[in-house]
Structure 1
Amino acid sequence: MGTLAGRVILLRGWKRVLAAFLAGALAAFAQAPFDFLAVCFISFPVLVWLLDGVVSTNGGGIMRRALPFFATGWWFGFGYFVAGLWWTGAAVLVEGYAFAWALPFAVLGLPALLALFYGFACFVAWFFWSEGIGRILGLAFAFGLAEWLRSFVLTGFPWNAVGYAAMPIPLLMQSVKIVGMNGMNVLSVFLFSLPALLVSRNHLRPGFACGLALVLLHLGYGYASLAAAPPAERMLPVRIVQPSIEQSEKWDEDIRDSIFKTYLDLSSEPTSEGRASPRLIIWPETAVPFLFTDRPDALVAVGEVIKDGQMLFAGAVRSEAPATSGGQTRYYNAVVAINSAGEIVDAVDKVHLVPFGEYVPLGGLLRKLGITELVESVGPFSPGSLRSTLILDDGIRALPFICYEIIFPDLVLADAAGADFILNLTNDAWFGDTPGPYQHFRQARIRAVEAGLPLVRAANNGISAVVDPHGRIVNAFALNAYGVLDADVPLGPAGGPSIGKPGVNGFMLLALFGISALIVSVRYRFKSN
């Protein structure tokens, strides 16, 4: 271990850059669908040693010493996001070469932008850097801060936050409902970086004692939470329609009637023997291939399929006429509730839109340069102003999130009170058979655990599923499967021990690590002088 650390510390030039890039890329394999958690216990110690090497060779002013920290973190982040998000390039080629201009940005530009946050993390860590556990505490605090910023800066994109690597299975997911994602990010980086102490052995025993205690608490709470989970008070039978429509055909006017008929046929299939008829039928994001306002006959057809006592939640594009004669029609990516009479009784619009996917920032300027939305639809879309629950006839409340809205913890936790289950409609067909849909599904499962609510997820080509409040899969359809998924949604209290609010606890933990890193750093520098 000492020999390896020494070689990493002494790396210079392109070899240092390559080592940082590869260490970050290796860490991406801890995310879904690979879930190879052990690689993080290699990647983060290598990052620590690379930063140790910066300290040992750079003198001069603050910026001269701190900027190499930023550069090392940036290369680490660039490797992490290239390896973890390369699949975003699949989306820009769905329509052939029309959006080929966006391929370099998707595959390299987006990772380069996100890597700035990890560069910032290492820059912040420099201010706490010292021998022993101080630098581990500082790095954990800095990464936690960076991941929090990544959740909202430039509209936010907290995809594949480091903390998800520590939660591959339900047993290891339960801690997130205590400390939230902010806390999980901090604790994960701290644990992953601890093997770096094996070299200098400063604070080795207290460091590994803290690490062992955290692991035992993580496992123990997970076991206790799952063991204490009460049975569901009631079950809601649902049917999820997964048609696996090719993305390139989704908005084809020549076959849209055929696509709509596919939804109707699947929705009306009989249930298996002995199974109750679904009370709720769910179609995925933008399932309806036209505007209901243009096709009133479509609502009539839906009403003929939906039985008395049933309701349909369908992803659809909703239009709103201009308020003035010179205004423009506004379009919304929405989920609509339709009753057995074929009437739209409620609708909730997507609030958090995807930049360059559903709208173009600085649209007027960028459109002149030929830059348009990557989503072929009637858009650009307008954001919804308010999220509300969709209510079934008997008062059961569904809290809807469309597509990647589900990856934002604050969005879900802000409105979870009073809801009976989380509804996630999405269309991951853009990303084909790549890690993207698996990563998206994992993050949706974590939202269910955080909020203590079951999750019902309908995806065009998968992964559609029903998940209980502890992240356990009740039933699911594989990626690219075709058909209907009939399952019972367990409603009722999540159960299990819980402490406080995850968002608040996460910030408290972040502050604790920051203060601890500062104290250790100051003590070290005081002794050195």
Structure 2
Amino acid sequence: ATLCASLFWTSGVGRIAVLASGFTALEWVRGHIFTGFPWATVGYSAGAFEGLEQLAAYGGVYGLTFLVVLAGACPAVLAADDEEAARGMSGRIFAMTAILLATAVIWIAGAARLSGSQPAFEEDVRVRIIQPNIAQNRKWDPKYRTEIFNSLLELSDMATNPEVTGVKDVTHVLWPESAIPFLLEANPKAKEQIAELLPPNVTLITGALRRGVAGQFGAANDRRARNSVLVIDHEGNTAASYDKSHLVPFGEYLPFASFLERLGIRKLVAMPGGFVPGAGPRTIPLNNAPSVSLLVCYEIIFPRAVIDRGQRPGWILNVTNDAWFGESIGPRQHFAQSRMRAIEEGLPVVRVANTGISAVIDPHGRVLKSLGMGRRGVLDSALPKTIPPTFYATFGDLIVVLVILFGLGLSVFLSIVNRSTLARNQSIS
């Protein structure tokens, strides 16, 4: 972005327009090249202000990135490179004021969008989020398998208030990513225990590892692992499943594996053969609830890649295990990115995290209920209703592309004008 700004450097508003345009374009590239890694894009900093972040419904997180950089760089408009530029100070003050006023108007409009829409909920749908808070060093230790599984069963049937005395008073029980610490298809007893837990018309949705049986995934000998979400009915049978499609590089798979393994580089997850990616987002029908888009872990951080565009779901369910991050800022950043997807898509997001933060988020990004980090517990909630598709959900990054092109075009134009003026003044002198 700095190189781009230096190529078309000019005094006044042009210098920050090209900086904001170049920075936003490079953030977009970072989010897409080599499968992408759009973690903690600058636009998420607007998430501290609920009104301002509503811009994401129109321009997504990249639209917010442009605005944050443009507004943050405003003081640079006042910098004068020479005496000639200094004489245009009043014009630069006007430009800076206009940018800041536009930011304030966007903020106020976002606040009005929030105040004009109160949360609404689906009738007869009640989800139960289970946050077991299993430490990472215990999660895959074989001696804790039974304890972990029994803990999940216990929490699922816990009474939380006089109206909710157990699993019979909810419609959907939600467990986090890879909650079941063994291969469920190889454990008939565990299936029986799940069937005993679930009353009729209650569904369990859980993260779980799985391997294909012969021929299930096309190849008869394909027994590689999938990081999956299973939809399990009250008889303990898997009614539907989703396989994580956006795998973590160097975590769940090793790019250029044959070359890097010769150098001694290995994946963080010691799974022989690595994980196999799924086919991508898809909408899964559910009993007694709107259809859902299932996402595993950091799949939620990718704008425009969280639902099947051909069949819009009624909500997004993101299961995750953020125990990897420990007490760092990582889980909070991950959570903030989940909120942004709700605003962009106009869809409620339910987040189920092993160690937190678990939450129910409405289509405007408001956190209706949550369980904080490091807590073991249960969160019962009604399911928020969706709203009509947002501009961003329909047209994607169209506004961002237009703004970037305008910013670059303005910068080029002003650069040409300034250089022409400078050359003319030098010829006169």
**Residue in structure 2 matching 1:451, options 345, 369, 385:** 345
Q: Which residue, out of 170, 194, 205, partners 2:93? A: 205
* C-alpha distance in structure 2 between counterparts of 1:177 and 1:476, whole Å: 23
Shift of 1:141: 0.6
Aligned residue for 1:167? 47
In structure 2, do the counterparts of structure 1 residues 414 and 504 end up closer, same or farther at CA, with 3 Å as the change threshold?
farther
Q: What residue number does 1:463 align with?
A: 357
Give the 3 Å change call, closer, same or farther, for CA 153–481 of structure 1 in structure 2.
same
| Matching of residue 302 in structure 1 with residue 194 in structure 2 | yes
Select the structure with the greater relative contact order (CA < 8 A; seq sep ≥ 6): 2
2:146 counterpart residue number: 257
SS state at 1:409 partner: coil
| Residues 55 and 63 in structure 2, CA contact (< 8 A), matched pair in contact too | no
* Alignment of structure 1 residues 309-324 onto 2, 5 Å: 309-321=201-213, 323=215
Do the aligned partners of residues 388 and 295 (structure 1) sit closer, same or farther apart at CA in structure 2, a change above 3 Å counting?
Answer: same
Alpha-carbon separation, structure 2, partners of 1:297 and 1:228: 51
- Contact 1:176–1:502 (CA<8 Å) still a contact in 2? no
Deviation at 1:518, TM superposition (A): 1.7
Which digits, 9 at most, give the CA deviation of each residue in 1:438-458, with x for residues without a partner? Answer: 000001101001001111000
Cα gap change, 1:241 to 1:395, in 2 (>3 Å):
closer
In 2, Cα distance between equivalents of 1:371 and 1:522? 50
Note closer, same or farther for the CA distance 1:138–1:414 as it changes in structure 2 (3 Å cut): farther
Counterpart for residue 413 of structure 2: 519
Correspondence for 2:109: 221
Taking the aligned partners of 1:378 and 1:484, their CA distance within structure 2 comes to: 34
Q: Name whichever of 481-490 and 229-238 sits farther off.
A: 229-238
**Distance in 2 of aligned mates of 1:186 and 1:168:** 16
Q: In the aligned structure 2, how far is the partner of 1:456 from the partner of 1:336?
A: 16
Q: How large is the RMSD of aligned CA atoms in angstroms?
A: 2.2
| 1:421-469 deviation line (CA, Å, top 9, x unaligned) | 1111111000111110000000110100100111100000000000111
The 3-state SS of whatever aligns with 1:208 is helix
Q: 367, 373, 379: which is aligned to 1:479?
A: 373
Percent of paired sites with the same residue: 36
SS in 1 for 2:51: helix
Distance 2:369 2:55 in 1: 23
Aligned-partner residue type, residue 221 of structure 1: A
Per the TM alignment, residue 414 of structure 1 is displaced from its structure 2 partner at its CA by 5.4
Q: Determine the structure 2 residue equivalent to 1:45.
A: none
**What are the equivalent positions in structure 2 for 1:109-120 lying under 5 Å apart?**
none
Which residue of the partner structure matches residue 71 of structure 2? 191
d(CA) in 2 for partners of 1:185 and 1:460? 30
Q: Which has the higher helix share?
A: 1
List per-residue Cα deviations over 1:32-67 (Å, max 9, x = no partner).
Answer: xxxxxxxxxxxxxxxxxxxxxxxxxxxxxxxxxxxx
Structure 2: unaligned runs, 5 residues or longer: 81-85, 424-429
Deviation of 1:493 (Å): 2.0
How far is 1:195 from its partner?
1.1
- Equivalenced residues, count: 409
Greater share of strand: 2
Amino acid at match of 1:172: L
The residue type paired with residue 523 of structure 1 is V
| Structure 1 equivalent of residue 328 of structure 2 | 434
Are residue 357 (structure 1) and residue 251 (structure 2) matched? yes
The structure-2 alpha-carbon separation of the partners of 1:492 and 1:506, relative to structure 1 and needing over 3 Å to count, comes to same
Contact kept? 1:358, 1:379, Cα under 8 Å: no
1:137 aligns with 2:17: yes
Matched, 1:147 2:27: yes
- Alignment CA distance shift 1:321-1:367 (3 Å): farther
User: Which of 153, 172, 175 in structure 2 is aligned with 1:280?
Assistant: 172
Given that 1:246 and 1:429 are in contact with CA atoms closer than 8 Å, whether structure 2 keeps it comes out as yes
Mapping of residues 45-124 of structure 1, within 5 Å: 121-124=1-4
Q: For 1:526 and 1:499, locate their aligned partners in 2 and report how far apart those are by CA, in whole Å.
A: 43
Q: CA deviation at 1:269?
A: 1.2
1:283 counterpart letter in structure 2: W
The equivalent of 2:133 in structure 1 is: 244
Instruction: Give the secondary-structure state (helix, strand or coil) at the position aligned to 2:186.
Output: coil
Q: Distance in 2 between matches of 1:377 and 1:499?
A: 36
Matched residue SS, 1:523: helix
Runs of at least 5 residues in structure 1 that lack an aligned partner in the other structure: 1-120
How far, CA to CA, are the matches of 1:421 and 1:455 in structure 2?
6
Aligned-partner Cα distance in 1 for 2:257–2:5: 37
Residue 83 of structure 2 corresponds to which residue in structure 1? none
The CA distance in 1 between the partners of 2:164 and 2:76, in whole Å, is: 55
Q: 5 Å matches for 1:366-381?
A: 366-377=260-271, 380-381=274-275
